[in-house]
Amino acid sequence: MVIPEALRRSLRTAAVLAGALAAVLGAALGSRAAVVLAALAGSLGWWVAGALAAEVAGEVAAAAARLRAMAAGAAEAGGDGGDGALHRAVDAWGRRFAEERARHREALTRLEETERRREAWLATLRHELRTPLNAIVGFTELLAAEVEGPLTDAQREDVDTIGNASGHLRSLVEDVFDLSAMTTGTFPVTRVRANVAAVARDVVREAEGLARTRGVSLRWEGPPEAEAWVDAVAIRRALTNLVVNAIEHAGGAVAVTLAVTPTTLTVAVRDNGPGIAPGELKRLFRPFERGRTAEARGAGLGLAITLGLVEVHGGTLSAHANDDRGSTFTVTIPAGMVPLEAAE
């Protein structure tokens, strides 16, 4: 049996008192009374220890009785005492938690069903819009090629107008649906080991014709090789948006540079146009937002889509005004990105 510390201290105190009393009486009465004094001391110590032990035992029994009463009250969930009230409060909280969890699961189920219906509706709408637009663009190209016969100057001008308008509308429809897919995380991405430097060079080469028509000098600078696991089509589209946007806003020169570190690939597109006003930086990548100084056509979706294309690669897109003139858009993507299959 483990003796409580309080009882142990009490026994030690009783023994000390009994020994001191025996010593005093022994000195006074002589050695003959030693046996009598020892017996007296033992009896006194036993009595004191017994009394203290009985007191401690009584306290332990009372505590046990209180614990049994608490257990009985919790089991019956009754009574007017504090223990019963606590049990009822805990029980009510448990029922409320279960009800809230059930409502939360029901709301998630409804949300998932709504999302599935929305995606199905968007897929149907995209198909229904693509079909007539593709037909308009296709027949316009046939007319422009004069397959059905030569066109007059007025007819050719009309066909060109139809072609430009239908092409712009088709591009706008694709941009809206792509932006929606990026927002919901359903944009398809297929990563392969690609040479990002070659992709960037091709983008610059393809934009040289537009740059010449605008009187803009276009310069490329970067290493010949810079590989990463990316969706090459998505990266090409993002860089094309930035380069074309820079050419349309350039004051005369655009520079595209690629820098490589052990962990990142960074493509910077710099122009010397009118630049970006400080108040426009925060809203620059929002859908349907355009700078007040912009002269380029469009619905303001290009930068928002470019941001989405970069972010699906785990990268970042930033913009800042140059110290001298113009602005710089910077794309940074991880150099060590792995394919989705390997990540899973």
- The pLDDT, as a whole number, for residue 289 is 62
Bridge partners for 59 per DSSP: none
- The pLDDT, as a whole number, for residue 121 is 75
Residue 183: is its pLDDT beyond 70? yes
More confident residue, 331 or 337: 331
CB 250 within 8 A of CB 326: yes
pTM (2 d.p.): 0.56
- The pLDDT, as a whole number, for residue 288 is 63
Can you tell me the distance from the alpha carbon of 307 to that of 315, in angstroms, rounded to the nearest whole number?
A: 9
**Token pair 């394919």: residue:** 339
> Using only C-alpha atoms, what is the Rg of the chain?
43
> What is the CATH topology of the domain spanning 192-343?
Heat Shock Protein 90 (3.30.565)
Can you tell me the distance from the alpha carbon of 258 to that of 237, in angstroms, rounded to the nearest whole number?
A: 16
Give the pair of three-digit tokens for residue 78: 């009754």
Taking each helix axis from N to C terminus, what angle separates 232-249 and 196-213, rounded to the nearest 10 degrees?
30
The conformation of residue 272, written as its DSSP 8-state character, comes to -
Can you tell me the distance from the alpha carbon of 188 to that of 15, in angstroms, rounded to the nearest whole number?
A: 87
Domain segments of the chain as ranges = 5-68, 107-184, 192-343
**Percent of the chain scoring above 70 in pLDDT:** 68
**Which positions ≥6 away from 296 have C-beta within 8 Å?**
245, 248, 249
Can you tell me the distance from the alpha carbon of 250 to that of 215, in angstroms, rounded to the nearest whole number?
A: 9
**Which positions ≥6 away from 172 have C-beta within 8 Å?**
299, 301
Instruction: Describe the strand order of the beta sheet including 316-321 as a list of residue ranges.
Output: 217-221, 253-260, 264-271, 327-334, 316-321
Give the number of C-alpha atoms closer than 13 A to the C-alpha of residue 281, restricted to the C-beta side: 14
Question: What average pLDDT does this structure show over 48-76?
Answer: 58
The pLDDT tens digits for 99-130 are 888 888 888 888 888 777 777 777 777 777 77
Can you tell me the distance from the alpha carbon of 151 to that of 145, in angstroms, rounded to the nearest whole number?
A: 9
Can you tell me the distance from the alpha carbon of 283 to that of 217, in angstroms, rounded to the nearest whole number?
A: 29
The pLDDT tens digits for 221-278 are 999 888 888 999 999 999 999 999 889 887 789 999 999 998 899 999 999 887 777 6
